[in-house]
């Protein structure tokens, strides 16, 4: 079993009701041995159309955040809690999240074996922390999930709704958070090669 086979298997999944409204399954993508994995909530309209995660406006903001931190998108792995778009972009229901994570996300994590996982937003953070959480309380803190370092951050869609860069704003905190992720990666022994570049001085996103 490898990631490509897993991706192929997921394309026909009908294990939860989200299969009914999707255009296509949006599996994770990125470096198959990435040191850093981002886990969002679920595909939106653009992702559902293109069949790729984080390619809409929120994904473009995530790209800018990564670029500002000197972390090339091609060095990370990006996926979601649920692989099919919830109708009207609603939050995935607990049984949908459970059906999808147990079939696909857990296996993706096992195969990629990242050193750091960044859940984006409360739904993803809840999966790794095992309880209902407020993202404003848990973001910017380190947790452990089966021996993997977990560091929740705000979902970029939330940052789009809160564009201020003032000190203490979600965007400002996210800039601090991504730099902390970068520092943690640099302090860990590399899996292979050097996946990250130096952190830039100014938040460019
Ligand atoms: Fe299967 Fe996940 Fe899609 Fe539900 S959301 S149908 S579990 S791939």
Please give the average pLDDT of every successive group of 10 residues along the chain, which has 205 residues: 95 98 98 97 98 98 97 97 97 98 98 98 98 97 97 98 96 98 95 51 46
Pocket test for ligand 1, best of 9, 21, 80, 103 (most atoms within 8 A of CB): 103
Measured in Å, residue 103 CA sits from the centre of ligand 1 at 8
Specify the pLDDT at position 192.
63
Query: How much distance in Å is there from the Cα of 81 to the middle of ligand 1?
Result: 9
Give the per-residue pLDDT at 1. Answer: 77
Six-digit token string for 77: 């792995």
Residue with tokens 């905190």: 173
CATH 3.40.470.10, applies to 3-186:
yes
Nearest CA to ligand 1 atom 3: 84
pLDDT of residue 190: 83
Sign of the CA dihedral with 179 first, then 175, 48, and 150 last? positive
**Which pLDDT score, from 0 to 100, does residue 202 have?**
45
Closest C-alpha among 14, 37, 34, 36 to residue 24: 14
Which amino acids bring their CB within 6 angstroms of ligand 1? 10, 13-16, 18-19, 25, 82-84, 96, 99-100, 103
């Amino acid at each position: 079993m490898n990631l490509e086979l897993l991706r192929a298997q997921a394309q026909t999944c009908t294990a939860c009701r989200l299969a009914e409204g999707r255009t296509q399954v949006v599996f994770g993508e990125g470096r198959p041995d990435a040191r850093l994995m981002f886990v969002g909530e679920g595909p939106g309209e653009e992702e559902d159309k293109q069949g790729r995660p984080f390619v809409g406006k929120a994904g473009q903001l995530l790209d800018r955040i990564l670029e500002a931190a000197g972390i090339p998108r091609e060095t990370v792995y990006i996926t979601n809690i649920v692989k099919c778009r919830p109708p009207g972009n609603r939050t995935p229901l607990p049984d949908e999240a459970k059906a999808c994570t147990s079939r696909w996300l857990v296996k993706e994590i096992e195969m990629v074996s990242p050193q750091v996982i960044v859940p984006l937003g409360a739904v993803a953070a809840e999966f790794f922390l095992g309880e209902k959480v407020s993202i404003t309380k848990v973001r910017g803190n380190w947790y452990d999930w089966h021996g993997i370092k977990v560091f929740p951050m705000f979902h970029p869609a939330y940052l789009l709704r809160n564009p201020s860069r003032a000190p203490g704003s979600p965007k400002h905190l996210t800039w601090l958070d991504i730099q902390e992720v970068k520092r943690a990666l640099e302090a860990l022994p590399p899996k292979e090669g050097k996946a990250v570049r130096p952190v830039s001085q100014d938040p460019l996103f």
